[in-house]
Amino acid sequence: MTAPPRATSVAVQRTGGGGAASADRPAPSVTSRFAPRELKEDQVAELVHRLIGPMTRLLRTELRLDRERIGRLRDPRH
């Protein structure tokens, strides 16, 4: 299984002429515009592939640390 290609840049669009009114209000965050229900199937698949690796590593590390805490470094189920 091969990983999907990673995006290397993020497009940022600025609005307004840079007047005093734009300096007074904060810029909207990326998460405020994120609409998960509007994602296409291939976008969801890419997101899952990007997240599964780091989450799996974190979970394995946490399970190993728990086994170390209770004094059982080896998992008897395997």
Per-residue pLDDT of the chain (78 residues; tens, 9 = 90+): 555 555 555 555 656 555 555 567 766 665 667 788 888 999 999 999 999 999 999 999 999 898 888 887 765 666
Tell me the whole-structure pTM to 2 decimals.
0.45
Ramachandran region, residue 53 (left: φ > 0; alpha: ψ -120 to 50; beta: rest)? alpha
Q: Which residues have a Cβ under 8 Å from the Cβ of 75 and sit 6 or more positions away?
A: 67
pLDDT at 12: 55
Residue (of 54, 53, 72) closest to 63 by Cα position? 72
* pLDDT score, position 19: 55
Q: DSSP H helical segments within the chain, as ranges?
A: 20-24, 41-70
